[in-house]
C-alpha cells in the first residue's frame, strides 16, 4: 500500500502493521472533530471568561469558574448518555445494517431526551442547594442561582444536540457537527457580548447574559441538526423517523445497558473537578480563580486528545463489527502518538509563558503569580490523563463500558477522594504547594486507570464483551 509522506515519517519511528486507518485518514477525521471540541470545550468558555473578566470582579469570575465545573460535569453525563448511539449505530453501520442503525438512534434519542429533561429540572429547582454544597460564599450563591437556572434550560437542548452529534459520528461524519457548531458559536459570541455589556439596545445582564447566550446557541444548533438528520440525502438512507414506533423493549434495554455505565464513568471523572473545587474552596476566592484558569488552560491544551478520543470510539465500533482486531490495536497506537504530540506542543507554549496567558483573565493581577507557579508542574502529569482518555474511549467503542465505569469509580472513590482530602487538611504553609499536591493526585489516579485499561487490552477479554442484536 502506498503511504503518504506523513505516514512514512511517523512509521519510521513508530512502526505498525498495515491494518487500521492511515494517519492521513485519522487526521482527516480529526480536523473537524478538533474544531468542534475547540469550540465546545474551550474557545467559547475562554472568550466568555474574558468578557466576564472585563467586568473586573473577582467574585463574578470565580462564580463563572465554579459554574463551569458543574456544567462540565453535566456535559460529560450527556456525552455518556449519547455514547450508546455512537456504539450501537456505529456497529450496525460497520456491517451495512443501515435501518438498524437508524432505529438505534431513534430509540436512544427519546431515552436521552428524557434524561435531559430530568437533569434540567434538577438544576433549575436545586440551583441554590447545589452552590451551597460546593461550599462557595453567600455572594457567589446569589450571583450563581439565576445564572444556573437559565443554563438549565439550555442544558436540556444540549442533551438533544449531543444525541444528534453521536449519530453522525457513528456514520463517520465529523464535518457536519463542526459546521453546525460553528454557526452556533457565532450566535453565542454575538449575543454573549451584547447581553453581558448591554450593546445594541440589549439589556446589560452581566453574568446572566452569558447564560442567555448559551440558550440561544443550543436552540439554533438543535434546529439545524434535527433538520439535517431528517432531510439530508445521506441520513435518509438510515430511515430516521423520530415518531415511528420504537424497536421494542430489547432495544431500549440495550440502550440503557450501554448508557448508564458510560454516564457513571464520565460523571465520575467529571465529578473529580467538583471535588477539587470543594477541596480548594477553603483556600479562598483567589485559589478558586487560579483553579478556574488552570483548568481552562489545561482543557484547551487537552482538546486534541478529546477530539482523538471521539475518533477512536467510532473507529473501534466500526472495526469491532467486522472483528478487525489488528486494525483496532493499530488505530489506538496511532491515536495515542498523534494526541501526545499535539497536546504537549500546546502545553509547552503555555508553560514557557504562563503569566502572559493567565494575565489575560486576571485584570487585577490578583492570582496570576499563584497560578503561574503551579501550571508548568501540573502540565507534566497530563500525559497520564491522555493515555487513560484514549484507552477508555477505545474500550467504549468495543462496548466494554462496564470495565471503564468500575475502574473509574474505584480509583476516584477508593484513591483520589481520600488521598486528596488528606492533603487538603495537611498543615502546608505554602498554599501553592498544597494546591499542587491536591490537583496532582488526580493525575496519579489517571495513571492507575491507564494501567487497568492496558491490562484489559492485553488480556483480549474486550473482544467478547458486546454482541449486536440481529
Predicted local distance difference test score (pLDDT) of residue 254: 67
Predicted local distance difference test score (pLDDT) of residue 51: 86
Of 6-10, 88-92, 156-160, 280-284, the least confident = 6-10
Predicted local distance difference test score (pLDDT) of residue 2: 47
Give residue 277's pLDDT band: very low, low, confident or very high (50, 70, 90).
confident
Predicted local distance difference test score (pLDDT) of residue 79: 81
Total residue count of the chain as it appears in this document? 470
CB atoms within 10 A of CB 99: 12
pLDDT in tens, 143-166: 888 899 999 999 999 999 988 888
The three cell numbers of residue 323 are 472483528
Predicted local distance difference test score (pLDDT) of residue 1: 41
Percent of the chain topping pLDDT 70 = 89
334, part of any domain: yes
Does the pLDDT at position 111 exceed 70? Answer: yes
14, part of any domain: no
9, part of any domain: no
More confident position, 463 or 23: 23
How high is the mean pLDDT of the chain? 81
Q: Contact at 8 Å (CB) between 146 and 131? A: no
What gap in Å lies between CA 424 and CA 123, rounded to an integer? 28
Predicted local distance difference test score (pLDDT) of residue 230: 84
Highest averaged pLDDT of the listed ranges 211-225, 227-241, 423-437: 211-225
151, part of any domain: yes
Percent of the chain topping pLDDT 90 = 17
16, part of any domain: no
What gap in Å lies between CA 370 and CA 113, rounded to an integer? 42
pLDDT in tens, 209-233: 989 999 999 999 999 998 888 888 7
User: Into how many domains does the chain fold?
Assistant: 1
Does the pLDDT at position 260 exceed 90? Answer: no
Structural domain harbouring 184? 21-464
407, part of any domain: yes
Predicted local distance difference test score (pLDDT) of residue 447: 93
Q: What three-state secondary structure class fits 254? A: helix
Q: Span 430-446, mean pLDDT? A: 89
pTM of the full structure: 0.67
Does the pLDDT at position 26 exceed 50? Answer: yes
Predicted local distance difference test score (pLDDT) of residue 468: 44
CB atoms within 10 A of CB 54: 12
Residue linked to cell 468542534:
36
393, part of any domain: yes
Q: Contact at 8 Å (CB) between 86 and 169? A: yes
15, part of any domain: no
CB atoms within 10 A of CB 470: 5
More confident position, 185 or 42: 185
What gap in Å lies between CA 89 and CA 108, rounded to an integer? 10
* Nearest Cα residue to 152 out of 129, 184, 181, 119: 119
* Nearest Cα residue to 148 out of 60, 211, 59, 76: 211
Name the DSSP class of 40. I
Amino acid at each position: 500500500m502506498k503511504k503518504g509522506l506523513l505516514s512514512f515519517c511517523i512509521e519510521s519511528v513508530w512502526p505498525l502493521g498495515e491494518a487500521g486507518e492511515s494517519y492521513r485518514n485519522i487526521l482527516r477525521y480529526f480536523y473537524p472533530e478538533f474544531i468542534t471540541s475547540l469550540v465546545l470545550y474551550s474557545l467559547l468558555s475562554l472568550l466568555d471568561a474574558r468578557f466576564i473578566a472585563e467586568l473586573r470582579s473577582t467574585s463574578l469570575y470565580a462564580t463563572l469558574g465554579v459554574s463551569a465545573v458543574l456544567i462540565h460535569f453535566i456535559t460529560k453525563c450527556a456525552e455518556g448518555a449519547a455514547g450508546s448511539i455512537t456504539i450501537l449505530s456505529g456497529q450496525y453501520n460497520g456491517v451495512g445494517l443501515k435501518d438498524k442503525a437508524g432505529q438505534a438512534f431513534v430509540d436512544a434519542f427519546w431515552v436521552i431526551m428524557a434524561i435531559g429533561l430530568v437533569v434540567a429540572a434538577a438544576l433549575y429547582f436545586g440551583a441554590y442547594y447545589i452552590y451551597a454544597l460546593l461550599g462557595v460564599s453567600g455572594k457567589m450563591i446569589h450571583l450563581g442561582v439565576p445564572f444556573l437556572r437559565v443554563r438549565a434550560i439550555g442544558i436540556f437542548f444540549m442533551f438533544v444536540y449531543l444525541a444528534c452529534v453521536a449519530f453522525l459520528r457513528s456514520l463517520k461524519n465529523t464535518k457536519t457537527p463542526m459546521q453546525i457548531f460553528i454557526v452556533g458559536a457565532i450566535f453565542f459570541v454575538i449575543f454573549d457580548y451584547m447581553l453581558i455589556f448591554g450593546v445594541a439596545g440589549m439589556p446589560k445582564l452581566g453574568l446572566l447574559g452569558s447564560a442567555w447566550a448559551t440558550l440561544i446557541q443550543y436552540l439554533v444548533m438543535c434546529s439545524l441538526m434535527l433538520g439535517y438528520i431528517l432531510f439530508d440525502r445521506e441520513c435518509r438512507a438510515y430511515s430516521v423517523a423520530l415518531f415511528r414506533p420504537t424497536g421494542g423493549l430489547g432495544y431500549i434495554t440495550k440502550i440503557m445497558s450501554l448508557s448508564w455505565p458510560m454516564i457513571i464513568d464520565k460523571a465520575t471523572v467529571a465529578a473529580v473537578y467538583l471535588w477539587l473545587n470543594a477541596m480548594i474552596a477553603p483556600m479562598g476566592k483567589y485559589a478558586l480563580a487560579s483553579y478556574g484558569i488552570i483548568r481552562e488552560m489545561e482543557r484547551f491544551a487537552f482538546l486534541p486528545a478529546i477530539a482523538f478520543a471521539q475518533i477512536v470510539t467510532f473507529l473501534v465500533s466500526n472495526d469491532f463489527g467486522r472483528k478487525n482486531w489488528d486494525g483496532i490495536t493499530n488505530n489506538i497506537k496511532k491515536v495515542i502518538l498523534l494526541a501526545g504530540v499535539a497536546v504537549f506542543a500546546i502545553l509547552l507554549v503555555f508553560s514557557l509563558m504562563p503569566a502572559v496567558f493567565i494575565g489575560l483573565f486576571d485584570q487585577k493581577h490578583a492570582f496570576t503569580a499563584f497560578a503561574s507557579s503551579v501550571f508548568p508542574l501540573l502540565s507534566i502529569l497530563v500525559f497520564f490523563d491522555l493515555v487513560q482518555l484514549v484507552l477508555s474511549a477505545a474500550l467504549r467503542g468495543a462496548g466494554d463500558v462496564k470495565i471503564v465505569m468500575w475502574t473509574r469509580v474505584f480509583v476516584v472513590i477508593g484513591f483520589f477522594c481520600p488521598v486528596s482530602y488528606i492533603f487538603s487538611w495537611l498543615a502546608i504553609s505554602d498554599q501553592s504547594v498544597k494546591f499542587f499536591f491536591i490537583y496532582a493526585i488526580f493525575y496519579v489516579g489517571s495513571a492507575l486507570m491507564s494501567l487497568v485499561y492496558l491490562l484489559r487490552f492485553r488480556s483480549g477479554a474486550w473482544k467478547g464483551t458486546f454482541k449486536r442484536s440481529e
